[in-house]
Amino acid sequence: MKPLSFIIIGSGWRARFYIRIAKQYPEQFQLAYLLCRREEKVDSIARELGIKTTTSKELSSGRSIGRCLYMDSNAKSNRGSRNCGRIIRYAMAYSQSLHLNGRKSSERKVLFQIVNYKIQTKTLPKEFDGFRIVHLSDLHGAVYGDKNKKLIQKIHEVRPQMIAMTGDMTDHSENSISGLIGLCGRLSKRYPVYYIPGNHEQCLEPKQLSQLLRKLESLGTIVLENSWCTISYKGAFVKLYGLVMPMRYYKDPLRPGYAKNLYFSEEDTRKLLGEPDLSCYKILLSHNPLYYPSYRNWGADLTLSGHIHGGIIRIPKLGGLLSPDMTFFPKYDGGLFTEKGKHLIVSRGLGNHFLIRIRNPEELVVVTLHHLYD
């Protein structure tokens, strides 16, 4: 099959992401041109990225480009993220060599997979043996069935003792926010639901974010913002901490004021959460897993995170290709990590903010805790 030839409209970080994908998979994708919205940037972008560029003015003058599909990298445009996603999925569906999420897209029977992890530790109270946690992360406004009925039904089938949401559950649209409110409202009627904001929630206007979190609390969802609560079960308890780190620690090379060598340390964790309770088992919710050594050294026995989207593209034997900070092969890309007797579980997420996932299905994570007997 011939490669899918396409034109990218725009030159921001999303456009650069698609350029990387095209170069990584030349058998499937061929970038014909990058169409610049600003004529004065055409030559400099062509030199920087090593690709052909053009302008809307040149297109309107009748310049022949051939038969191509158009991808608008502006997520806010009418031809934005949804159309980009459709085009990428179109290419995958008709490619014999490239499978979407590990299988041909025409063969997909479910919209997400359920991934189970078992944590065995002596420090967990015996009463919590078999305690189930549903871990939801990075929904980004995605909807599974009418009012998320398919997602809720799968959660009911798991029969968890609690639900942990580790951020980026919404994007900036009103539909996305109202969808999250509806989801939390329905789940909170049946389960204890604990929620921390991710970097996308923090990008909301401060008033809008405050209104969202207060609304979730009014529905029964427990919002943890650099705070903790006690989870009681069968007469025993563990402590649940929620960490919300400042935005400057989310590495984004395209953000003004980005500091490459900034690191969120154990001491930074302590400043926000205080001293850990050494007398009990501690679960930490933190959206960003990149700083897991700091969480572990602070005292977290189990950390639940998201943010990395599984590395977006999963390469056999190598893992996730790319992190949101645009670095290759992030260490904590998804799954279970055990270090120094403590555990980190990184959800690969339920949404598709980057518009493409290859061999990387959306997932609902189920964590079952077990007391390890001598």
Q: Which CATH number goes with the domain that contains 183?
A: 3.60.21.10
Q: Say what the pLDDT of residue 293 is.
A: 98
Q: Say yes or no: 175 and 301 in one domain.
A: yes
Are 184 and 121 within one domain? yes
Closest CA to 184 of 197, 199, 200: 197
DSSP, collapsed to helix, strand or coil, labels residue 194 as: strand
Based on the domain organization, do 92 and 161 belong to the same domain? no
Residue whose pair of structure tokens reads 């009014």 in the numeric block: 218
Q: Is residue 336, in this structure, part of any structural domain at all?
A: yes
Residues 90, 119 within the same domain: no
214 and 323 both lie in a single domain: yes
> For residue 108, is it within any domain?
no
Listed residues 44, 65, 98: the one ending a domain: 98
Write down the pLDDT at residue 98: 35
Q: What is the pLDDT of residues 339-359, one digit of tens each?
A: 999 999 999 999 987 767 888
DSSP structure string for 98-116: --BTTB-GGG---SSEEEE
Number of H helices, E strands in the chain: 10, 18
pLDDT < 70 regions, the chain: 1-4, 13-14, 17, 20-21, 24-25, 28, 37, 56-110, 252-260, 355
Query: How far apart are alpha carbons 69 and 86 in whole angstroms?
Result: 11
Domain that holds residue 38: 4-98
Dihedral (CA of 88, 91, 93, 97) sign: negative
Answer whether 0.95 is exceeded by the pTM: no
Phi and psi at residue 315, in whole multiples of 5°? -110, 125
Residue 200 falls inside a structural domain: yes
pLDDT at site 2: 65
Looking at the DSSP assignment, which residues form a beta bridge with residue 236? 233
Same domain, 207 and 326: yes
Total domains in the fold of the chain:
2
Tell whether 175 and 90 lie within a shared domain: no
241 and 323 part of one domain: yes
Looking at the fold, whether 51 and 140 belong to one and the same domain comes out as: no
Q: What is the structure's pLDDT at 93?
A: 40
- Same structural domain, 133 and 57: no
| 106: in domain | no
What's the pLDDT tens digit per position in 239-279? 999 999 999 898 766 555 556 678 999 999 999 999 999 99
Q: Residue 69: inside a domain, yes or no?
A: yes
Domain boundary among 70, 98, 126: 98
Alpha-carbon gap, residue 281 to 240, rounded angstroms: 9
Is residue 104, in this structure, part of any structural domain at all? Answer: no
CB under 8 Å to 320, separation ≥6 — which residues? 308, 309, 310, 311, 312, 313, 314, 329, 330, 333, 334, 360
**Contact (CB, 8 A) for 199 and 287:** yes
* 279 and 170 within one domain: yes
For residue 365, the surrounding DSSP H or E stretch is strand 363-371
Q: Please report the pLDDT score of residue 316 as a whole number.
A: 81
Q: What residues have CB less than 8 Å from 157, skipping those under 6 apart?
A: none
183 and 56 inside one domain: no
Query: Is 217 contained in some domain?
Result: yes
pLDDT tens track for 63-111: 445 555 555 555 444 444 444 444 444 434 433 333 334 333 323 334 7
